[in-house]
Amino acid sequence: MASNDKKEIVLSGIRSTGNLHLGNYFGALSKFVRMQDDYDSNFFIADLHALTTNPDPAELHANVKNIVAEYLAAGLDPEKATIFVQSDIPEVSELYLLLNMHVGIGELMRTASFKDKARKQLGIHVPAAGEKDDSDEDIEKQIIGNESRSKRVNAGLLTYPTLMAVDILIQKANWVPVGKDQEQHLELTRRFARRFNSFYKTDMFVEPANFNFGGQAVKVPGLDGSGKMGKSEGNCIYLIDDEKTLRKKVMRAVTDEGPKEPNQPISEPVANLLTLMELTSTPIPCNTSAMPTPIAPSAMATSRSNSPRIYSRSPFPYASASSTSEATTNISDRCSVVVPSVHASAPQPLWPKPAR
């Protein structure tokens, strides 16, 4: 293995709460694979973080093994990156206890993720994007006042940012690739590092930065018509789903009634499906000169009966190709997105990429 002494340290992990889905892949795993050649990369399975959702112990251990397997299947190379289980490092739990002594309850309760997850666990309404949120005092009353024997928010959920900070600081990570929903936690990590260093008059911890690949952050939508893909929402396409399961999920995805007037904006559910198609398809530059010649109406009946057709949303019918592969090539020449064919022997509907 090549020496990583002079390389900057990168750290990231995924909670072991179930199999990984497309959101995990495009938001994290695919980036892990890109980083492992150029950085001292450390990727872990966050089984301690998973305890905040009270998982079944047997499922927790099985999920750890499944995620390790999916890390490897996605392209992480143990010869290039360090892959480990969070609970295998006892110093993480020890520093978690010590760092909590320098963290205020108020700053933890003000984190957006805690408020949202606590409400979900207690069955309290979670404000949608753009909807006015309650004051911190009202939220505190909601959470504390709604706890019961059957529903409660465990302290681990409140101190989740502290444990995340420990994961990062104990490895002295320079870079941490996080999504938009984790940026607040990363800022808290920097704050905790400064506080610890100042209190003990030391330069023990490095202040990490968010690793930005450039461009906008990828938001992978779910199959339920709104929001992002997530395990708790039950709207996922998992990396281990077989062809039959994939087809069943996609066919049941939320759509709409279709356009009711010309130039009507695409609804959010349909736009979400097109986003998924774009993420999982191969982009091909549009070539308008490759468009086939429109056929006369009198020839359409003959062409339909003699060869397979591939349909497209276009102002006029296109001449059918003599074979499926040729037809696919014609469509590929003029479309920016190609949907992978499930069965090579049967033509699949293909559409040009919608204008954004």
Q: Read off the pLDDT of residues 270-300 as tens digits, 9 standing for 90 and up.
A: 888 888 888 888 766 655 555 555 444 444 4
Instruction: Please compute the mean of the pLDDT values over residues 112-136 and round it to a whole number.
Output: 68
Per-residue pLDDT band for 211 (boundaries 50, 70, 90) equals confident
pLDDT at 135 > cutoff 60? no
Instruction: Please compute the mean of the pLDDT values over residues 77-94 and round it to a whole number.
Output: 96
Per-residue pLDDT band for 261 (boundaries 50, 70, 90) equals confident
Helices 160-169 + 112-122 axis angle, to 10: 130
pLDDT at 109: 87
Q: Which helix (H) or strand (E) holds 184?
A: helix 183-199
Which 3 state secondary structure label does DSSP give 48?
A: helix
**242 Cβ contact list (under 8 Å, min separation 6):** none
In Å, what is the CA distance from 325 to each residue of 328, 332, 347?
5, 10, 9
In Å, what is the CA distance from 48 to each residue of 45, 164, 320?
9, 10, 57
Do residues 151 and 123 touch, judged by C-beta distance below 8 A?
A: yes
pLDDT at 330: 37
pLDDT at 354 > cutoff 80? no
Q: What is the pLDDT of residues 155-200, one digit of tens each?
A: 899 999 999 999 999 999 999 988 777 888 999 999 999 999 999 9
Active site (annotated) includes residue 244: no
Looking at 7, 120, 228, 353, which residue is catalytic?
Answer: 228
Higher pLDDT, 258 or 139: 258
pLDDT at 132: 56
Instruction: Please compute the mean of the pLDDT values over residues 215-239 and round it to a whole number.
Output: 82
Do residues 268 and 276 touch, judged by C-beta distance below 8 A?
A: no
pLDDT at 20: 93
Looking at 117, 141, 151, 248, which residue is catalytic?
Answer: 117
Per-residue pLDDT band for 136 (boundaries 50, 70, 90) equals low
pLDDT at 332: 35
DSSP character for 312? -
Could you tell me the two tokens for 276?
Answer: 């998924």
pLDDT at 144: 65
Instruction: Please compute the mean of the pLDDT values over residues 88-111 and round it to a whole number.
Output: 94
Could you tell me the two tokens for 216?
Answer: 């906008």
pLDDT at 69: 95
Q: What percent of the chain has pLDDT over 90?
A: 40
Active site (annotated) includes residue 231: yes
pLDDT at 216 > cutoff 90? no
Higher pLDDT, 213 or 43: 43
Active site (annotated) includes residue 6: no
Q: What is the pLDDT of residues 297-336, one digit of tens each?
A: 444 444 444 433 333 333 333 333 333 333 333 333 333 3
Residue type at position 302: T
Do residues 21 and 231 touch, judged by C-beta distance below 8 A?
A: yes
Distance CA 259, CA 353 (A): 17
pLDDT at 326: 37
Residue type at position 133: D
Higher pLDDT, 56 or 347: 56
Looking at 219, 231, 249, 353, which residue is catalytic?
Answer: 231
Structure-token match 């949608």, residue found: 128
Could you tell me the two tokens for 78?
Answer: 């143990």
